[in-house]
Amino acid sequence: MKKFAMYALLVVFLSAPVVIGANSQISEDTQTCIDCHASFHPGIVADWKKGRMANITPAEALKKTKLERRISVGKVPDGLVNVVVGCAECHTMNPGEHQDTFEHNGYYIHIVVTPRDCASCHPAEVGQYGKNLMSHAYGNLQNNPLYRDLVDSVNGTQSFADMKTTYKPPDVKTDADSCFYCHGTIVQVKGMRTRETEEGEMSFPVLSGWPNHGVGRINPDGSRGSCAACHSRHRFSIEMARRPYTCSECHKGPDVPAYKVYAVSKHGNIYASIGRAWNFDAVPWTVGKDFTAPTCATCHVSLVISEDGDVIAKRTHQMNDRIPWRILGLIYAHPHPKSPDTTIIKNRAGLPLPTELTGEPVAKYLIDVMEQEKREKTMQGVCLSCHSQTWVDGHFARLENTIKTTNKMTLTATKILLTAWDKDSIFNEAIEKKWVEQWLFYASSCRFASAMAGADYGAFANGRWHMSKNIQEMIDWLEFKLEQTPGK
């Protein structure tokens, strides 16, 4: 794939740009793309044209003040600086690194645009994102044997004969359409395929794991993630990334009910009721002026300032630098892992878990109390924009209490489970599935409800009621099974 020279493309970039407005100049290459694709895929082109990248050149972007700037690179490569960011700019970037580069009407293009490509103009954001657990979402699931076992138990198929079910592991298409839709697939070139098109016969790469825009996608250039997970193609708008619906694509189910909790919180109510007048496009984002209640992005990602111009929170694509606890996805809530790669974690029992099965955190891999306090302070900075310290202290005291009580309720469920466990997979029997629901659904929901002040979801919707009921049902199951097995 390195058979073509990088400079060949640079030459292309240096060709004269086409002027489409006072401030936006489309490169000749991009114009060539548009000439055909505006007719074949009119929706994409139209969407792109409405976006900022189609209407501003990096040179103009660099003239903005530091706080207003959306690109973080100091100097944009010459060929890119005076044209808007169009088809060719992204889909021909870094061709030597892209396993999926192919020849298409005289251009060497790739289908899968990656964070490494985006880093040409947004290196700070891509760098931060590398420290975000989400960038490792593929490996943290696939390469953790315990979690891979969970995936198999969910996505695999079962057969029934002689009063027994047997599991068959899932095929890759099912995985890609289930867990890895959000976690990200591995996208690899599996050959080329020739097919008839409106422009005659053409060849295209055959990609495994495609389509996908999961947050931890393993890309054909070896990079991780997809910026389009949140900055949806082909407008790539900051507005969309700031809307809660973007997060809800992956954070709405019972395993990560962040959106559902937000929706019943006062914040979510204010957003839904009067947010239509807010400015979701402003950079920096000014509390009180641009919005009067947070969306997900406000607390977790955005550069937020006051009307006086004070920086309330710096932009972060690492996200966990505002998060002291990990409250979801693991058996017990625990201090946030140090490394975004959690496959390195092992507990004393040798399990790939950040806590023991009985809840004690494996300190070595987790941030310490001082780092937790620092992160909590950063998050509270956002809260204090609208709330007094008394209010904020009361809120966080409840969250810490909920972490304790939900961990306790998970421990109870785990003790019941361990009484019944037959030491094979911990995910296939009915009681094991109930145990998983105890922490993956119910305990975690209670914590989200506390963390984001959406109590309704943590009471009867999928929280304390179910956490408590589930334990009774686990006990009943155990009694029934012990009855069946007199020897036990």
Q: Which is nearer to a copy of itself, 7 or 199 (CB)?
A: 199
To a copy of itself, the closest distance from the beta carbon of 41 in angstroms equals: 6
Q: Which is nearer to a copy of itself, 143 or 419 (CB)?
A: 419
The residue (of 133 and 261) whose beta carbon lies closer to a copy of itself is 261
Distance between CA 302 and CA 173 in Å, rounded? Answer: 35
CB of 486 to a copy of itself, least distance (A): 12
- What the block records as the tokens of 407 is 């961990």
Instruction: Report, in Å, the least distance between residue 469 CB and a copy of itself.
Output: 4
Write the DSSP assignment of 249-318 as a string of letters.
Answer: TTS-STTS-HHHHHHHSHHHHHHHHHGGGS-SS-SSEEBTTTBSS--HHHHHT--EE-TT--EEE---SS
In one-letter notation, the amino acid at residue 51 is G
The tokens of 200 are what?
């005659």
Q: In whole angstroms, what is the distance from residue 270 CA to residue 193 CA? A: 51
80 versus 382: smaller Cβ distance to a copy of itself: 382
| CA-based radius of gyration for the chain | 25
Geometric angle at alpha carbon 354, from 157 and 442, rounded to 5° = 60
Is 437:408 a contact under the CB 8 Å cutoff? Answer: no
Q: DSSP class of residue 440?
A: I
Nearer to a copy of itself, 83 or 109 (CB): 109
Question: Measured between alpha carbons, how far apart are the two ends of the chain, in Å?
Answer: 62
Structure tokens at 335: 């201090």
Q: What are phi and psi of 43, to 5 degrees?
A: -60, -45
Report in angstroms how near the CB of residue 210 gets to a copy of itself at its nearest.
5
State the pairing for strand pair 102-104/107-109.
antiparallel
The answer to whether the beta carbons of residues 58 and 84 sit under 8 Å apart is no
- Judged by CB, which is closer to a copy of itself: 13, or 285? 285
| Comparison of 59 and 240: residue with beta carbon closer to a copy of itself | 240
In the complex, least distance from residue 73 CB atom to a copy of itself, rounded to whole angstroms: 27
Closest CA to 104 of 27, 41, 29, 216: 29
- 60 or 255: whose CB is closer to a copy of itself? 255
Question: Can you name the residues that pair with 164 across neighbouring β-strands?
Answer: 161
For residue 37 the two structure tokens come to: 């694709």
The answer for 166, left when phi > 0, alpha when psi is -120 to 50, beta otherwise, is beta
Distance from C-alpha of 383 to C-alpha of 322, rounded to nearest angstrom: 12
Q: How far is the CB of 14 from a copy of itself (least distance, A)?
A: 28
Residue closer to a copy of itself by CB (options 55, 385) is 385
Shortest distance (Å) from residue 459 CB to a copy of itself: 5
What is the smallest separation between the CB atom of 232 and a copy of itself, expressed in angstroms? 6
Q: In the structure encoding, which two tokens stand for residue 99, read together?
A: 């396993």
Residue 81: CB minimum distance to a copy of itself, A: 28
